[in-house]
Amino acid sequence: MKANIRDFQVVERADLEIEGITLVAGRNSQGKSSIAKGLAAALTGTVQLGGLLKKDGGKLVRAGCSTAYAVVQSESGKATASWPKCEFITDGTPPAINAHAAGLEHLVDMKPQDRATFLARALHTAPDKDDLLQAFTDAGIPAPVVEKVWADIEAIGWDGKAADVKDKGARFKGRWEGVTGEKYGSEKAKGWLPKDWTADLTEAELDDLSSVVGENQLDLEKAIAGAAVDQSEIDRLTAASADVESLHKASMDAEVVASQAEVAYKSAKRELDDLPPAQQPDALACPCCKAALQVNGHGPTMELVQAATLSDVELKKRQTAINIAAGNASHAKNRLDAANQTAADAQRAHQAAHDAAQQLAALKAKGGTGSASDVQAARDRLALAQRRHSALKAKLEADELSKQLAVNALVQTLLSPEGLRKAKLLKVLDTFNGGPLAELCAAAGWQPVRIEPDLSVTYGGRAYPLLSGLGPQLSSDQFRVRAVLQVALAKVEGHGLVIIDAADVLDHLGRGGLIQMLRAADVAAVVCMTFGKPDLVPDLQAAGMGMSYWIDGGIARPLAEVKAAKQEAA
């Protein structure tokens, strides 16, 4: 792969052959990091580096220049990042890596949730259908549920289905609380009993209790039919029928008002219909002389007259008349609707009073043969039967909802980010820690780098944040952690190149370990490192390991060329 960078930040010119390990060396502030960022932009398509706004793209152009670009190309294609317009153009299938391999982001800098998402994607830890089936089976959830859940996961994703299940659980809780009249609690739901519950209801059947309610309803009706008319019933019917005459008069008056409103509406509608249209009339040809004619008037008054063109004033006048008439008709219709509603309400009130009067007359004429106490006893038996039926019905519904809530809670746990996905991730992490990470650390001669179960990162058992020094810069141990993770994750994701900047934080032994790790990983790498002078830079080309470059004043040249020029000058 070849890379060409021009006038990007500190870099004036850099033409690199990238194969194996490419070492970019130089003193401070000569352009090493600018090369790293330019390559990262061209390899990832991230041209607004560091969150820079597009309008500020000129800040990435070298002072005194108008444009800058970074190009990477191979036999399969080419990618170009350019500034100040912050454009990214590809041709064919150019070399490409993700932001993590390019050093633009890093696992240790991510929030816990983002870290989990990144690792799930990078390590392919998303559970499959078999994982889901096994987890559901272990939790005692029926297999048919798996089919539905998996279909939804494929359609809306794990997070989408987890949110759906959580929402369904909230609805189940609402229904349980509606049935019981109490606030839901998982422990409370296990032993909840209705207020009217009795021990014998445990063995009862709802259909049997429904039959008992029906039988007691019939008994009550018979008791009422055979009982003497209770004075309270007479009082009730007397009160209900007391205003029958006044209600009848009110009903008749309402009918009259409704009839008048109907007449008014029909009159307003006719006035609207009789108005001439507010548009030019269609012309007709006289069958005899072919003269232009038009229809004048409406209904019985229609006649053919000589066609005439209406003036704008006349058309406006007609439209105004139509608008007024339409408004009048609308108001009349509203009054008619209100009058009809009032008449209907009055009719219902009169009919209810009339029915009460007839019932009162019938009861007084019939007299009674039974006892009021018989009626009350029948009412009490019916009320008891209804309470028992309601209690069992509520218990059965609450128990069913409780079962659904229990299953829902299990499914919520399994589908949550901390559930099956986390379990699968941790299982894969064991392999990742003991495989790629351990192998790279061993190759470098460094302490073990591990991703712990809580997704924190450790180096030699020490938490990553505790590896820092007093200043804002990375410590050597923090750099080791970042380099190992960057290379390991790039390798498992299939990226054949990493960009590692500021490797000069390592001492001589640590730098050698970095090179050994990169060789063991068998991935290409661009490594930027500070050296005081070219003579101290290892010649990777001579060692058959790649290529070394020396950058000075923003211009990068092959190390061999720099050393040769120095010898000639001497």
Determine, yes or no, domain membership for 172.
yes
Give first-to-last CA distance, the chain, whole Å.
34
Asked if 264 and 360 sit in the same domain, the reply is yes
| Strands 11-17, 555-558: pairing kind | parallel
Determine, yes or no, domain membership for 12.
no
Asked if 357 and 238 sit in the same domain, the reply is yes
Contact indicator for 24, 527 with CB cutoff of 8 Å: yes
| pLDDT the model gives residue 145 | 86
How far is 541 from 136, CA to CA, in rounded Å?
A: 57
Q: How many Cα atoms within 13 Å fall on the side-chain side of residue 403?
A: 8
Instruction: Going residue by residue through the chain, which has 570 residues, state the pLDDT in tens, using 9 for 90 and above.
Output: 999 999 999 999 999 999 999 999 999 999 999 999 999 999 999 999 988 999 999 999 999 999 999 999 999 999 999 999 999 999 999 999 999 999 999 999 999 889 988 998 999 988 999 999 999 999 888 888 889 999 999 999 999 999 999 999 999 999 999 999 999 998 998 889 999 899 898 898 999 999 999 999 998 888 887 665 566 777 788 888 888 888 899 889 989 998 998 999 999 899 888 888 887 766 677 778 867 676 666 555 667 767 677 788 888 998 998 999 889 989 988 998 998 999 889 898 889 889 888 888 887 776 555 567 888 899 999 999 999 999 889 999 999 999 999 999 999 999 998 899 888 988 999 999 999 999 999 999 999 999 999 999 999 999 999 999 888 889 999 999 999 999 999 999 999 999 999 999 999 999 999 999 999 999 999 999 999 999 999 999 999 999 999 999 999 999 999 999 988 886
Q: 281 is in which domain, residue-wise?
A: 231-364
Determine, yes or no, domain membership for 166.
yes
Asked if 297 and 354 sit in the same domain, the reply is yes
The residue among 462, 450, 500, 456 whose CA lies nearest residue 479 is: 500
Determine, yes or no, domain membership for 162.
yes
Asked if 245 and 339 sit in the same domain, the reply is yes
The residue among 248, 178, 218, 164 whose CA lies nearest residue 416 is: 164
| pLDDT the model gives residue 266 | 92
| pLDDT the model gives residue 59 | 96
How far is 370 from 296, CA to CA, in rounded Å?
A: 81
Determine, yes or no, domain membership for 107.
no
Contact indicator for 487, 106 with CB cutoff of 8 Å: no
Determine, yes or no, domain membership for 296.
yes
Asked if 353 and 402 sit in the same domain, the reply is no
Asked if 270 and 150 sit in the same domain, the reply is no
Determine, yes or no, domain membership for 252.
yes
Determine, yes or no, domain membership for 106.
no
- Of 364, 383, 411, the residue at which a domain comes to its end is 364
- Of 348, 364, 380, the residue at which a domain comes to its end is 364
How do residues 27-78 score in pLDDT, each as one tens digit? 999 999 999 999 999 999 999 998 899 999 999 999 999 999 999 999 999 9
Asked if 305 and 402 sit in the same domain, the reply is no
pTM of the model: 0.62
How far is 31 from 92, CA to CA, in rounded Å?
A: 29
Asked if 360 and 316 sit in the same domain, the reply is yes
Asked if 240 and 355 sit in the same domain, the reply is yes
Instruction: For residue 483, give both structure tokens.
Output: 């380099």
| pLDDT the model gives residue 422 | 87
| pLDDT the model gives residue 511 | 96
| pLDDT the model gives residue 534 | 96
- Please give the tally of structural domains in the chain: 2
DSSP annotation string for 63-88: TT-S-EEEEEEETTEEEEEEETTTEE
